[in-house]
Amino acid sequence: MLERKAFLPITKQDMLDRGITQFDFICVTGDAYVDHPSFGIAIISRVVEAMGFSVGIIAQPDWKSDTDFKIFGRPKYAFLVTSGNIDSMVAHYTSAKKRRSDDAYTAGGKAGKRPDRALTVYCNRLREIYGDVPIAVGGLEASLRRFAHYDYWADEVYPSILVDSKADLLMFGMGERSVREIALRLSQGEDIHSLRDIRGTCFLVDPKETPLGAKECPSFEQVCKSKELYAKACKLQYDYQDEVYGKVIIQRHGNKMLVQNPPALSLSTQEMDEVYALDFARAYHVDYEALGGVPGIEEVEFSITHNRGCFGNCNFCSIALHQGRKITVRSHDSILSEAEKLTKMSNFKGYIHDVGGPSANFRHPSCKKQEKNGLCMGKKCLAPTPCKALDADHSDYVSLLRKLRSIKSVKKVFVRSGIRFDYLLEDKDDTFFKELVEHHISGQLKVAPEHCASNVLDFMGKPHIEAYKKFSDKFYKYTKQCGKEQYLVPYLMSSHPGCTLNDAIELALFLKENRIRPEQVQDFYPTPGTISTCMYYTGLDPYTMKKLYVPKTAEDKAMQRALLQYFNPKNHEIVIKALKIANRRDLIGNSAKCLVKPLNENNRSGANIQWKNQSKKKPKNRLKSYPKTKR
């Protein structure tokens, strides 16, 4: 078992044992403390420590009391606060807004160790206790709520999280560059309110101090009143998130102006190597052992991140607004060094579980012009069809995987994070495809066609189903050639904006025709900041401003979800109801073309299904209770 000194201090005694009387920075996180580079707070805390600063960790403080927040006293420079690896509301609630019974980022998987809207709650407690102490926030909850945004759980438009949290500075995206500059300048005596030129940060100022030349979004007040203006704001925010041509973006919030500086510059390969070479314990803190450990580490403990960013840019994904679309990678030497460290861990069994990232098979820019000109504004590299300028080449990834396979103590190297099959198909050399099938799959490969209806896939920002069919044919061809029994497991999404009942029926027929029986189906989840969430709230495509159908009622969602599992006897009655509503009675019967048999007394489930129509509920108006902030 690792010793306590392998981790950063989490108790007063740890602090005293290291001879520290006051920490330079104190990190507050909504997750249990896991010192592994897959956890954002671990990277940020280790980056700050590597600069020579002392850092303490307050993990999952009891927000109902002052005690945990006072454990180390006031930091010399600032509190650095995050809700954890994911948005706290997503951690707590399913897409149906039902409370989850567990939490993978808490010791023992126990739910309830962080509050709803954790970032806001933590920052407000720190303000109450320490007054004007400098507070900088980061992580996914901060990053995706940096502008006025639709909050699915409250069904209303919220202001920037800077307003409600009362934090001084917000770091969005990958925060290594931003936090280094913040830490350095605070240590040199600068006031946190003067740090207004750091890329990758947001802050609030008096309107008269608004920087010149900025791109202005419709204000918080305007996007609360007008869904058209909300959609226009969303488009502008996405259009200028490129690190090459990105602009300062501003949005009025009452008597304050929100200012977002351009995104931070991506780390170079050398800089990424340096981050991942930091002295991580690569484990959850020893104090959690008696509680059963932290489940969230299981998927990543023996996994390696080799890249960041994703030019796939799916509309329902948050990566474009958070990590960005530019691909950055680590060197082979850095990745091999990490693999060697894994082989020396006492519980390593010879299997590297993943060598990936947001999209595993991206190792270079999608085209040659990106370094100079950035990624094309308002366009996608792969959808609806691959760009003619796309440079699809897996040779570097193949070389890396071969090197990892050759390590003496490694039995198998898996690729489990997302493979962009549409990108893979564009590579004229099938070497990677063949080696993926032969060496890097553990019986099943998860891929994400998401749907089959072309109009739905367009709203998702995904390639059309023909690409998946071509990929599937090749996959099973190469699987047969290498004498293995392996299967594709397609991820599918129901109820995405733009998906009608007829589209869901089309998908059900596709699944039947291709003998696909998904065990799980994901309902669309309107998480903060995505283009698809904008579509869900406004009923508009922000890039065309055309109206689209949005399935919102519980009944509509239930029917679409059930159609994707039409073969499940529990869904029999609701599938028949859906087919009747869609005037597709031809699919009810005993013939091979039908989805379900007619109902009779023997096949009735007897389920008493009730739906609550949520579409009639009007969003609340935050304008009446809008808090005016003062510095």
Q: Is the preceding peptide bond at 542 cis, omega within 30 degrees of 0?
A: no
What is the tens place of the pLDDT at every residue in 170-184?
Answer: 999 999 999 999 999
Average pLDDT of span 58-84: 97
Q: What is the pLDDT of residue 604?
A: 61
Q: What is the pLDDT of residue 603?
A: 58
Q: Which residues contact 274 (CB under 8 A, 6 or more apart)?
A: none
Of 391, 501, 511, 375, residue with least CA distance to 449:
511
What is the tens place of the pLDDT at every residue in 349-372?
Answer: 999 999 999 999 999 999 999 989
Q: What is the pLDDT of residue 619?
A: 43
Average pLDDT of span 61-65: 97
What is the tens place of the pLDDT at every residue in 499-537?
Answer: 999 999 999 999 999 999 998 889 999 999 999 999 999
Q: Which residues contact 395 (CB under 8 A, 6 or more apart)?
A: 429, 431, 432
Residue type, 559: M
Average pLDDT of span 1-18: 94
Q: Is the separation of the CB atoms in 75 and 23 below 8 Å?
A: yes
pTM over 0.85: yes
Q: What is the pLDDT of residue 599?
A: 86
**Cα(268)–Cα(251) distance, integer angstroms:** 31
Task: Return the bridge partners of 305, or none.
Answer: 356
Tell whether the model's pLDDT for residue 572 goes beyond 70: yes
Tell whether the model's pLDDT for residue 620 goes beyond 70: no
Q: What is the pLDDT of residue 601?
A: 57
Tell whether the model's pLDDT for residue 629 goes beyond 50: no
Q: What is the pLDDT of residue 371?
A: 85
Q: Which residues contact 158 (CB under 8 A, 6 or more apart)?
A: 145, 148, 149, 150, 151, 164, 622
Residue with tokens 């009639």: 616
Q: What is the pLDDT of residue 519?
A: 82
Q: What is the pLDDT of residue 612?
A: 41
Tell whether the model's pLDDT for residue 574 goes beyond 90: yes
What is the tens place of the pLDDT at every residue in 435-488?
Answer: 999 999 989 999 999 999 999 999 999 999 999 999 999 999 999 999 999 999
Element housing 91 (H / E): helix 88-92
Which domains are seen in the chain, by residue range? Answer: 4-204+256-266 (3.40.50.280), 486-615 (no CATH)
Q: What is the pLDDT of residue 417?
A: 84
Q: Would the CA dihedral through 528, 530, 532, 537 be positive or negative?
A: positive
Percentage above 90 pLDDT, the chain: 92
Task: Return the bridge partners of 149, or none.
Answer: 158
Of 267, 213, 218, 214, residue with least CA distance to 243:
267
**Cα(70)–Cα(43) distance, integer angstroms:** 24
- The pair phi, psi for residue 110, each rounded to 5°, is -75, 135
Please, how many CA atoms are within 13 Å of residue 242, restricted to the half-sphere of its CB? 17
Q: What is the pLDDT of residue 114?
A: 96
Average pLDDT of span 241-245: 95
Instruction: Pinpoint the alpha helices (H) of 217-344.
Output: 220-225, 227-239, 269-276, 319-322, 332-343
Q: What is the pLDDT of residue 606?
A: 46
Q: What is the pLDDT of residue 200?
A: 97
Average pLDDT of span 185-194: 98
| Exposure string for 146-185, b = 16+ CB within 10 A, e = fewer | bbbbbbbeeeebbbbbbbbbbbbbbbbbbbbbbbbbbbeb
